Amino acid sequence: MANIAFIGLGNMGGPMAANLVKAGHKVVGFDLVDASREAAKAAGASIAATAVDAVKGADVVVTMLPAGKHVLSVWKEIVPVVAKNTLLIDCSTIDVESARHAHDHATEHNLPSVDAPVSGGTGGAKGATLTFMCGGEDFAFSLAKPILENMGKKIVHCGKGGAGQAAKICNNMILGISMIGVCEAFALGEKLGLSHQALFDVASTSSGQCWSLTTYCPVPGPVPTSPANNDYKPGFAAALMLKDLRLSQDAAKTSGAATPLGAHAESIYDAFEKAGHGGADFSGIIHHLRQIAGK
């Protein structure tokens, strides 16, 4: 069993750290927020006073932080002080450039590192059923895999440093675009007098079939477990979808890829957030489409 430092004990990091404790690892956690530290303590982790204190004696350090600037600032503090051969894993969703900088920083200190963003949300974090998309050298990935298996059910090695973040934002760009497409079809069907169930029955077994329709249907009824049946409570908040679409558009600009639908999806979610709906599930974008109809 490993000595693991876990930095960033929020909605995702808290339950992920708890699963490492459950698997028998010795976990030392740190977060800026009292309530997150207390929850991690209640779940069996020890709590350190600073990130630097948390990583003392660690074999593995996991970070689960809001954005690239937080990851780079924490890694800047800890990389020079961790023990030789300590494995660094960043599970946050961040921009590909920052992920590559973080890897470079680790490599300069001869430390193995993996970017390992997740999909599966807070339910997956609690149930240890997350999917991890990993970037890093083969050796670093081979060290990270058994640790990540305590927190997830699918661990994919996508390539070198930053490849995990690249896979994450490409996937979520598909998701953002496809959710808007499904919502547009339901909004058009309503105008044409088509019942939600009839459209679902046809599209879910035809070429319009996709995850946004069959697992996460944005209207109440056809898929009882979708957030539409729970007043569009997340689920996956629209603000997080917007964050990921922004990351995909930053990466498209930097790399010179053409992603016009990704750009349009970003602007639609941006308008939804500005109207005060960032906390709603991202499938609630159907309300925005109904609202702008005819404007």
| Closest among 47, 44, 55 to 22, alpha carbons compared | 44
Q: Which is nearer to ligand NAD, 191 or 233 (CB)?
A: 233
Examine the residue annotation and report whether 168 is marked as an active-site residue of this protein.
yes
* Radius of gyration (C-alpha) of the chain in whole angstroms: 20
CB of residue 64 to ligand NAD, shortest distance in Å = 5
CB of residue 196 to ligand NAD, shortest distance in Å = 26
Q: Locate all alpha helices (DSSP H) within 149-259, ordered by sequence.
A: 163-191, 196-203, 211-214, 238-255
CB of residue 67 to ligand NAD, shortest distance in Å = 6
Task: At 119, give phi and psi (nearest 5°).
Answer: -130, 155
Q: Which is nearer to ligand NAD, 87 or 125 (CB)?
A: 125
- Nearest residue to ligand NAD on Cβ basis: 10
Residues that bind ligand NAD (CB under 6 A): 7-13, 30-33, 36, 51, 64-66, 70, 74, 92-93, 118, 121-122, 236, 240, 243
Helix (H) or strand (E) holding 118: strand 118-119
Q: Which is nearer to ligand NAD, 222 or 248 (CB)?
A: 248
Q: Which is nearer to ligand NAD, 115 or 185 (CB)?
A: 115
Task: At 147, give phi and psi (nearest 5°).
Answer: -70, -45
CB of residue 204 to ligand NAD, shortest distance in Å = 25
- Assess contact for 71 and 102: CB atoms under 8 A: yes
Helices (H) and strands (E) in the chain, counts: 13, 9
- Active site residue: 22, 168, 233, 274, which one? 168
> In the 8-state DSSP scheme, what is residue 246?
H
Q: Residues with catalytic annotation?
A: 168
